[in-house]
Amino acid sequence: MEPENQTGVIECLLLGLSEDPEWQPLLFGLFLTMYLITVLGNLLIILTISSDSHLRTPMYFFLSNLSLVDISFSTTIVPKMLVNIQRQSKSISYTGCLTQVCLVLLFAGLENFLLAAMAYDRYVAICHPLRYTVIMNPRLCGQLILVSLSISIADALLHSLMVLRLSFCTDLRIPHFFCELAQVIKLTCSDTLINNILVYLVTSILGGIPLIGIIFSYTQIVSSILRMTSVVGKYKAFSTCGSHLSVVSLFYGTAFGVYISSAVTHSSKDTAIASVMYTVVPQMLNPFIYSLRNKDMKEALKKFI
């Protein structure tokens, strides 16, 4: 195929999870339900935390930011998919596709860093309880959010600008339900070696460092809990970490599952289905995990409702 300059690209085609017309109503209903649960559940978490003075602590400050990121992440992906199903269309403009790539990278990066910040918060609370209020002061919390946002924006813009330098072929069909960076790069007729190296390098650094931080934090937390003599103290310490550890396991577990499935299978359709598990499902389940496993959140939700 002849390469076509990116300025001449009008639109791409998102093939979605299935091209079978009989599946479209089911997919529409399923993803609409999941999106509404995600938005309403996370919005309820944000409103509950902001309305209860007892929840104005670093832990819940990070949680409210995580809920906002989850809403934004789902909103970047799902509404466009629903509109295309409803209109029986697969098109997305080149600008819209590139914007989606940029926003997905931004919110995925933010979620990654927020989970690491929350792990550090739990580490300080359990391993250094007497110094908790001094270490986890409002200034540090704000700085952690600002640094996370700055790095995520820089990462998203870097990859987006690297895509802009590429030329695209005439066949712009993306076997996915959203514009994923790896799938967009595969559409090009240019040499993508630099792009691919950059993707693996940056993903390894920005994904690996927060994960190492989380593992280190929980290693210290477990070590500190095992040294406790009080059974009640051990239970209380485990309960404060249970919700966050569940969310971390869900996010990284599904992300690694998608990576492994894409490496094992050569089917783009199977990879797209697996991607649902880290782009939609964790964001929907996070509010339930925190509200059902956290006593303070359950009491605050009852008051708010």
Domain assignment present for residue 172? The answer is yes
Distance (Å, whole) CA 253 – CA 80: 26
Instruction: Return the percent helix, strand and coil in the chain, to nearest 5.
Output: 80, 5, 15
In-domain check, residue 21: yes
Q: Which of 277, 135, 104, 115 is nearest to 212 (CA)?
A: 115
> How far is C-alpha 186 from the geometric centre of its chain's CA atoms?
23
**Domain carrying residue 17:** 6-304
Strands 91-93 and 11-14, by their bridges, are antiparallel
1 domain residue, yes or no: no
Instruction: Check residue 214 and give its pLDDT.
Output: 93
Asked if 142 and 236 touch (Cβ cutoff 8 Å), the reply is: no
Q: Return the pLDDT at 148.
A: 95
pLDDT at 262: 62
**DSSP state, residue 56:** -
Question: What pLDDT is stored for residue 264 in this prediction?
Answer: 64
148-163: b (≥16 Cβ within 10 Å) or e: bbebbeebbeebbebb
* Residue ranges, the chain, pLDDT below 50: 1-8
Whether 219 is in a domain gets the answer yes
Q: Within a domain: residue 166? A: yes
Q: Which of 301, 279, 269 is nearest to 288 (CA)?
A: 301
Q: Is residue 16 part of a domain?
A: yes
pLDDT tens, 83-99? 988 888 888 888 889 99
pLDDT at 170: 75
- Which DSSP string corresponds to 172-229? -EESSSS--HHHHHHTBSS--HHHHHHHHHHHHHHHHHHHHHHHHHHHHHHHHHHT--
Domains in the chain, number: 1
Read off the CATH number of the domain in which 27 is found: 1.20.1070.10
pTM of the model: 0.89
Please answer whether residues 201 and 120 qualify as being in contact, where contact means their C-beta atoms are separated by less than 8 angstroms: no
The three-state secondary structure class of 13 is strand
Q: Which residues of 208-244 are buried (b: 16+ CB within 10 A; e: fewer)?
A: eebbebbeebbebbeebbeeeeeeeeeeebeebbebb
- Asked if residue 110 belongs to a domain, the reply is yes
Is residue 94 in a domain? yes
